[in-house]
Each structure stands twice: as C-alpha cells, then as structure tokens.
Structure 1
C-alpha cells in the first residue's frame, strides 16, 4: 500500500491517451492547495480538504460505507503507520471512517460561503434575475439543513434529509443550482399567489416568500408530517410570515386557495397532474419536472395557449425525487444487479422489460460496439439522452454503481437501454486526434443476443450525430392535455410522447 501511494504516476506502463494530462492536473491542484495553505488562505487544513473531497468522491460513486471505511483505514495506515491490526474484520473499520468524516465540520463563515455560491451561479448564468440573486444572498441555506456541515450546505449538491426503511432516499434539499434554475423558470413576482409541491426543508418556500413580497403568499405542501413540521419551523425561524406549510398531496393541490399565479413542483412527475393544472390562474405558469421516457426528465415551464395546448417557455435538464403517497405517484422499481459491486437499474411501469432477467444481466453474453461519435471537452450529453429516450423502445434508464467488468461512461454509472431480456449501456473510450482529446461513445450489450439492442442503440446515436449533433440548435417542446392532444402533430411519430393525461411533442430543428 505504501508503495502504491508513493509511486510516480507519470511512470505508469501502458497508460491510455490523456493519462499524463490528468496526472499533471492533479499535481497542479496539489501545488495550488499547498500555496493557499502556505499563504494562510485555507479555512481548513490540507488533510481536511483532501478528506472532504475523498468522501465526496466516494459518495458520488455510490461506494458502500464499509468500503469507504476500509479505504480510509488503509490510507491512514499506509500514510501514518501505527500498530493497527491489519486483520481486523471489515465491520470494525467503521470507527476510523466516522472520525475521518467528523473532521469536516468547521467554523468557516457561512456568509462568505453563501456569497461565493452566489458569485458562482451569477457567473454560470444560473442566477440572472436581481430579485432571485438577492434572495439567495439573504436566505441562510445552512439553517435549513442543520445536520449537514456548512460546506455541504453551500456545495452544489443535493443533501438527503429522509430515507425509507430500505435506505432509499425519499426526500432531499435540491442542489442550489437546481433551485436557482427552477426559480428563474417560475418568475414569481410581488403579489403572486404560489403553490409549491414538495416542501422538504422549507428552503425553496422561504426564497419564494421573499420573491412574492409584498402582497403575495406561498403555500407549500408535503406528504410527510415530520417534514411539514420541520419545514414550518425553518420558515418561522427565517422570519417569513407569508408562507404556509401544509400536510397535503402535491398532485391534488389546494383547491381551497386556488387559483394560483404560479405553481412549482420540486418533486418529479410521470405525467401532468390535471387536478393541479386546473388550479392555475389565467395567464399563470406551472413549473413541472416531468419524466419523458424511462429515467430521462426535464423541468418544464408551461403556459396555457387557451385551447388546451400549452407552450413551453423554458425547459431545463433536471431529475427530482418522484411524487409518492398520493394520486400522482411516479413509482419505479430499482433492481439490484447481482454479483460483486453495487450496480442498480431503474425501471418504470411503462417499460417492457423482463425484470426477472435483469439482476444477472451483466453476467449474460456481451457485445461491445463503438460508434465513431466523439465528444470533446465541454460537450453536453443532454440532447443525446433526450434523442435516445424518444427513439428507443423503452427510453433510457439510469444504471448507477460500480462493479468489476462494468465499464460505464461516467464515474457515477451509466445510462442503459432496455428491451425484454436485453440491456445495452453507454461507455466511452478516450483518445486524441488533430483536434485534441476526445471521448468516443460506445455501447455494451448484454443478453441472449447481445448485439441486437446494442446495434439499435449505436444506429440511434449515429443518426443523432448526423442530423442534430455538434452545434445544432436544441429542440423545442409542445404539450397538450387529454382533451386537446389531437391538436398536436409531428412529422416523425417517434417524437410524440403520449401519456395518460397529456401528449408531449419534441420538435427537433
């Protein structure tokens, strides 16, 4: 272990293209941290900084706690020595991990962290409206997640706040960039009446309360009594008096307080909730994160055209925890993949897939095909995902986790196509050409006939790249509710997504 930690990474044999650049980037980051530490500009020690990033990387990769503890313990032993018993059972390794995690709590100034967050989002374009930017400055996000350290409160990540008995996250406070995106989509203004579906910690409702003052009012609902109580307390402690936190089903809305000028869902839906849509005032706007097919969803801002069709004034990539415990539930089945590792597969009710075959799918025959389609630094995957969600038989499903032999296209996992007893997931291989570094998209198929679905996915990727890849303009969206769905047509039926309550049409330029 000591030899591994002290090895010169640049001397690695048979390194793939781009390896030396990645090593150089890590070394540059290390030297930068050293300079900051020497100049007294770090609010934490180097060990705390590195520990924080290690824990973040572990969690992002869905590494189980016991394995995180083992890695932390081995690293500590290799780096600092000691007479620790190397034969200790894995269950006993949780103690060093707990001590490591506890070092993250700091006394850093939350005001500075909040200002830094606002500066980042202003530069990135997540925050554009002065009123929303000021609300982000004024509302102390860390007060709404007191169990998290202050750095996590202002990092751009969702923070879990509730899990089900099986350990599945069922509520969280959204990443602040997603909060900013949705508030910009909503365009809540002074005097507006607003309904929010998904109270969580009360943070978003508090921001809304500031945005609609003076004269406006916010009702935020949640299905969990404990979350309602906590959110209500947070709102009161923040000094907000124009927000009511209500125990109710977001998909049913609050007809006694309708109509609303703005309706915002901070939970995901599989379809348009018609009951709530009917509570929107004329000229109003509803922001709804809605699944398109499989795991692919977007946050839509809909406005009524007056004839049962709805225009999309904004559409952003976003994934939210689904509605539950109510009339608009969007339930999915998460299938654990057998064998070593922690790979899971998300499947939804509309997908035609042999769920009994999926747990052992990565042990089925395999076929790998590379597409020739190259992504460069800064390339965006979102429109390829949307294209595949529309043209493939069952859309795309998230497949997070790691295991030997699983070669996903991102560190967190991959997106997979499903069809019956077959699965094909996305992968990449890195290379260099006269334009610089690239990542070529590949597809790895599994099943009785592994090439069948893999070849279908490959052809779909090549079609997208040929007709809509590169710098092509993004698609637009149209929506109609049940009674007016026949008013929406498309030249290519693959881009007409029919649901129980609505029809969504994707228009590719």
Structure 2
C-alpha cells in the first residue's frame, strides 16, 4: 500500500503485503535479546514486529531518509507501546555504526548492490536480509550469512521493494512510457544497454512472434525462468506493466521484456490442451530493427532452461562476496557470475 509519492507521482515508500512482511521476518530469524537494524522505517509497522520478536532485552533501530516518515514511524511506535524500538533519520545503506554490532540487519527497501558499510556492522554470526536487484528488474530477498571471507544465502525469496534513495547505494530506475493508447511502461536501469529514445514508439513497429515448445501448467512458478533469463540475456529482464491494444503479455498485469539497444522482445503465452490437460506455451514477441533475432535469442534461452533445469529441479543456491574476496567466487558457466560495483553474486544451479 503506497504511503508516499514523489513529485512525479512515482511511489517512493509503501507498506509491503502481509505475506512479504511475514516472509522477510522469517528470513531475518530475530530472537529475544538481538540487536537489530532495519533500513526503511516507512510507517514503523515492521520495526514494531521486530521489537516484539527481540523483546524483552533486545533492541531495534529503524532508519529512513525522510523526516516525515521518521516522525510518523515514531508516532506509531509510541502508540503501539514499542518501547524497545527507535526511529532515526539517516541513510540505511550507511547503517548506524554507533549502535553496532547488530545480530540482524534487515532492508525493507531494495538495493542494486550490497551496501558494504553495513557488513562491517554485523556481529560475527550475524545475518543480512536484503532485497537485491540481480539484473534488470529481477530482484530477490536474500538472507546472507558469513562463509569464511565470503557469504552464502541461507534463504532466498522472490520479492521486489521500493529502491534505496538519497544515499550512497541508490538504485533508481528510469521509467519509459510507451506512447499511444494504454498505460504500458518499461523499467530500465543504468547498467542496461537500451535506447530510451526509441522505446516509446517500440510497440508501433511490426511484431515478430516466436513460440517455444516450453509448456507451463497451472501452479508452475515463473521465478526460476525469470532468474535464468536475467543471467543469460545481455541486459537482463525488465518489467513491462500495463495494457494496450495489440499488446499480448503473459500476465494480466503486463510482461517481462528483454532489451537490446533499440529492440525489445517480451514474453507472451498461448493456451492449449494435451493429454496432460491445459497448458500455456511460452512465446516471445519482438519489436524493433532486430526483432526477429532478439525474439529467437530469448526463445532459445527459454528452451535451454527447460532442457537443463526447468521447474522440477531443486532451487539454485547463491554466494556473494565483496572487496578482495570477490575473486574467490567462481562458476563453471560465467553467465551465472553477476559482477556489480561493490559485490559479486554467483548463482549455483543444481
């Protein structure tokens, strides 16, 4: 539920869905007596829950960049009787070294990289829970613990959060509105090679559809296919929400799209039935000067995922390192090494 927008109408703070709040709290694993830092105070609701989990001897510090949000959180926390929780003004990515070490650090805002300063504020057996964008729009909430000089995930859940802002680890995206009727827009990020001037008119160019032999059935998750495509495609995978005549996304909310300069290819589906019942065949629709080539590239990657991994294999694992320890993390397939300015993330497919 949005609680604050910027001057352009973009949501910059919100209350997460209860299921996401519960999922992240399970990832945090806060216990009585823990000292906890939360980045992203918002209304103070999540901090109050953390305060309940660490009571009676534990302490929670929640931090936000806007004075109005901090003041509101303080009011709510006082009304809730959360006497072991303090809301402070500051940059969550910088942490609160004066109150460290923390047994748990939880980010309820998204990051495009690991805020390395907070790692030094964790206790030796501490845990960092952070929703981190992998490539393009694909983001997951990681729970990292130390593994020698590097880090390993002990939990990883699909989740997207409002990004960090006004600080040292901002992760703002550029929203490109698609011209014409409807409300379709495209999320783009600084590391993506995309011609943003060409994108508004992209759906006015001829469509080049390609269908794969990959079938999804009722209840099949899309998260692992998204992760695979985010890793193997040159510019990751971007959200493309909205509706418009002639736009046939794979979900009612919109689609995920691959970008390549002045060309775009988004996911679509067509329904069918076989001896096993109803299915949805995954397709790709390209637009732009190299529409057919990009659509075929995405379709080939989808078929590779189905052949080598698919929805019935165990979930992948994740390793992370910062600084000089980055070189310790290797992978047999370099496509699954995601290098960022401050960190390296490795996806270990089984």
Q: Same fold by TM-score, threshold 0.5 exceeded? A: yes
Which one has the bigger helix percentage? 1
Q: Distance in 2 between matches of 1:264 and 1:470?
A: 29
Residue 261 of structure 1 corresponds to 103
Q: Please list the CA deviations of residues 129-182 of structure 1 after superposition, one character each: whole Å capped at 9, or x if unmatched.
A: xxxxxxxxxxxxxxxxxxxxxxxxxxxxxx110111111111000001000010
2:273 equivalent among 418, 427, 432: 432
Q: What's 1:249 paired with? A: 91
Matches within 5 A, 1:29-48: none
Matched residues, number: 350
Equivalent residue for 2:284? Answer: 443
- What residue is the counterpart of 1:346 in the other structure? 187
The question of 1:277 aligning with 2:119 is answered yes
User: Larger C-alpha radius of gyration, 1 or 2?
Assistant: 1
Question: Aligned partners of 1:343, 1:175: CA distance in 2, in Å?
Answer: 24
- Residue 33 of structure 2 is aligned with which of 156, 167, 191? 191
Q: CA RMSD in A?
A: 0.6
C-alpha displacement of 1:485: 0.6
For residues 100-179 of structure 1, the aligned pairs below 5 Å read 159-179=1-21
- The superposition leaves residues 272-319 of structure 1 with CA deviations (integer Å, 9 ceiling, x where unpaired) of 000111111110000010000000010000011232x00111000000
The equivalent residue for 1:226 is: 68
2:133 — aligned with what? 291
CA contact (8 A) 2:221 2:311 kept: no
After superposition, the C-alpha distances for 1:363-413 in whole angstroms (9 at most, x for unaligned) are: 112200110110000000000000000000100000000011110000100
Residue number among 306, 330, 349 corresponding to 2:148 in the alignment:
306
CA distance in 1, matches of 2:124, 2:290: 53
Look up the match of 2:234. Answer: 393
Selected match of 2:82 from 237, 240, 244: 240
1:422 aligned to 2:263?
yes
- Normalised to the residue count of structure 2, the TM-score between the two structures is 0.99
What's the CA shift string for 1:20-47, capped at 9, x where partnerless?
A: xxxxxxxxxxxxxxxxxxxxxxxxxxxx
Q: CA deviation at 1:229?
A: 0.7
**Contact between 1:365 and 1:448, CA under 8 Å: does it hold in 2?**
no
Separation in structure 1 between the aligned mates of residue 46 and residue 32 of structure 2, nearest angstrom: 16
Q: Does 1:499 align with 2:347?
A: no
2:297 aligns to what?
Answer: 456
Shift of 1:483: 1.2
Q: 1: distance between equivalents of 2:326 and 2:148?
A: 13
Out of 205, 214, 238, the position equivalent to 1:373 is 214
| Secondary structure, counterpart of 1:503 in structure 2 | strand
Task: Give, in whole Å, the separation in 2 of the partners of 1:432 and 1:366.
Answer: 25
Unmatched tracts of structure 1, length 5 or more: 1-158
**2-structure distance, mates of 1:230, 1:187:** 26
CA contact (8 A) 1:301 1:314 kept: yes
Cα distance, 1:431 vs. partner? Answer: 1.1
Aligned to 1:384: 225
- 1:413 is aligned to 2:254: yes
Higher relative contact order (CA 8 A, sep 6+): 2
Equivalent residue of 1:385, what SS?
Answer: helix
For residues 31-86 of structure 1, the C-alpha deviation after alignment (integer angstroms, 9 at most, x for no partner) is xxxxxxxxxxxxxxxxxxxxxxxxxxxxxxxxxxxxxxxxxxxxxxxxxxxxxxxx
Distance of aligned partners of 1:250 and 1:441 in 2 relative to their CA distance in 1, 3 Å threshold: same
Deviations 1:438-493 (A, max 9, x none): 11100000001210100000000000001111311111111111210110100000
Residue 323 of structure 1 corresponds to which residue in structure 2?
164
Distance 1:267 1:229 in 2: 18
Which structure dedicates a bigger proportion of its chain to strand?
2
TM-score normalised by structure 1 residue count: 0.68
